[in-house]
Amino acid sequence: MAAALFRDDQRIILHLDYDCFYASVFEVEQPILKTLPLAVQQKQIVVTCNYEARRRGLHKLQLIKEAKKVCPDVVIVLGEDLTKFRDASKDLYLFLRGFIWGERVEKLGFDEIFMDVTDMIVYNMALLNPNDLSHSFFHLDRQDPTVGFEFDATSIYGPVYPDSDTAADTGSLTASYSSQIQTRLLLGSHLAGYLRGQLEDQKGYTATAGISTSKVLAKLVGSVHKPNSQTTLLPPYATLKDHEESNVLKFLDPREIRAIPGIGSKSSRNIISYVTASDPAKAEDGLTVRDVRLFPSMGPSVLERILGGPGAPRGIGLRIWELLHGVDNTPVGEARDVPTQISIEDSYGSLDNFEAACKAMLALAASLIRRMRADLTEKYTDIETTSTIGTAHEDTGFRWLARPRTIRLSTLPRSLPGSDSGVSHTRTSHSAPLPQYVFNLDESVDALAERLVRELTTTMFRKLHRERTGWNLRVLNLAVTNMVDLVGKHSNGRDIGKMFQRQEVGLQESHIDSRSELVTDPKIPGSTPAVAAEAVWEESDEEDNMTGVHCTVCGALIPHFARVAHEVYHTNPGQ
């Protein structure tokens, strides 16, 4: 079955994961923190800590009070305000993007980045001198042959999977050109090492890298050697007759299915339930990729039957079957100067009355407008010539790079008493056109937020929760979507901005509320009522999603993604 799947192994994809990103942001600001045990706090837990803290027994998802007991001299910094993390992530993204040809650079959350470097690899592969591979030069600029770095093309840079006893094993394959994929991966490994070095030297951040031919494999193999290292997944990538088994299957088979990127938690649960229903013994251990892949009659059609249905992506069975075989032909997204959406949310111990909800929406609206100004505007200087006297006048200010046209309010109710799970996966959303006054840069953020809540979001909220009481919300989310680029490669910012305003001039703000509708756009994660959002390779605001559930043992508010780990912590407090 695996041989029938089409795999595109001509690409070279790099995946970079910044080490202890939240902690590193503080360390770059204050280098002395690198020598101290440092923990970043959100809610009541340690969301990350540096390696000095880990050496002293601290770990992610630990309660703050427990962390202080384990390491009394830990330095704890608050990480609730994500502004500095967002700014640092954007700066690193732009820095790395400046090296990559073709602008195939894609962010995943704050601390991960994919790069399709195929064009760079193919160009440099053609310039290799097979008579002197040990003194090769990697060209970073087609126009300037002096820009680049020297490297040894007789061996792969950094660790590999499967682990090779000697560098000669990989070097002999490359020197004889018996493997085109191997040569491409070799060049990719040296480029990854160079980029990691530049990131540390120029920006002060370390990163772990994965090098392979697809996004899913690059991401997974990068986690083999951490931190501040990299791993290249060696061929063969496909199982052929009279040849050894694919290294891809060797690498994937022992991994738990829930650990495969692109297979969400809901899909994992459904697959595990199906397999263990006929073989309960498998439920005692984590279900692996091999368990599912070799399960009798398992294939795309069976997976489609298990995972398909209303709200499921089209062809999900084939997509999951491909991932189980390490086949991922999805492209690295083209670099964007602006995000596709901006989303702000918060979680609450109890949000059960309209006045509290309005106060929460006001805080979210202010944060959302600040994000819009930070991510969607740029400083510019406009030089105008006065024809009557022939003099030039400079006008410096800020302009919008893009304008969202839609605002979306989402709520997540708390689970009903007596339900099986402490976490609800169902969000309801309501969308409306975004009023034009939000883009007024001369008005204060707080004033705009107050007007937005008073004139729009309160009405949107009432459409989702018509009764003033009787509900209890766990999460509120406010987002802007449907971006229209104003300043881009093929556009004039001022002209398109005027056109945008002309298109919207007929929209009466007094009618916005009555015309808003409940959206079920499948391209907007979480927007469909009664359907759980299950992100795959989309740009993610997961760092904003610090939703929580109260622990039944200690009562602490724990982010939902950390619930299982926190329960394990209580059962094994000594670990």
Q: So which residues are the catalytic ones?
A: 112
CA distance 40 to 401: 33
- Rounded Cα–Cα distance for residues 226 and 208 (Å): 6
**How far, in Å, CA of 99 to CA of 195, rounded?**
8
Asked if 386 contacts 393 with a C-beta cutoff of 8 angstroms, the reply is yes
From first CA to last CA, the distance across the chain in angstroms is 42
CA-closest candidate to residue 216, choices 412, 410, 407, 7: 7
Strand order in the sheet with 402-413: 342-351, 473-485, 402-413, 428-433
The whole-angstrom distance between residue 313's C-alpha and the CA centroid of its chain comes to 20
β-sheet with 45-49: strand ranges across: 45-49, 38-42, 75-78
CA gap 199, 161 in Å, rounded: 24
Q: Give residues with Cβ within 8 angstroms of 367, minimum separation 6.
A: 344
Three-class HEC string of 8-35: CCCCCEEEEEECCHHHHHHHHHCHHHHH
Helix (H/G/I), strand (E/B), else coil: 243: coil
Q: Is 561 helix (H, G, I), strand (E, B) or coil?
A: helix
Q: Please answer whether residues 485 and 335 qualify as being in contact, where contact means their C-beta atoms are separated by less than 8 angstroms.
A: no
* CA angle centred on 422, ends 417 and 424, rounded to 5°: 95
Q: Which residue has the tokens 């009023």?
A: 435
Give Cβ neighbours of residue 228 (< 8 Å, ≥ 6 apart). Answer: 19, 196, 206, 207, 208
Q: Which three-class secondary structure string do you get for 391-410?
A: EEEEEEEEEECEEEEEEEEE
Asked whether the beta carbons of 368 and 345 are under 8 A apart, the reply is no
Structure tokens that stand for 504 in this block: 């919207």
What's the chain's length in residues?
575
Cα–Cα dist 324/312, whole Å: 18
Cis status, amide bond into 162, omega within 30 of 0: yes
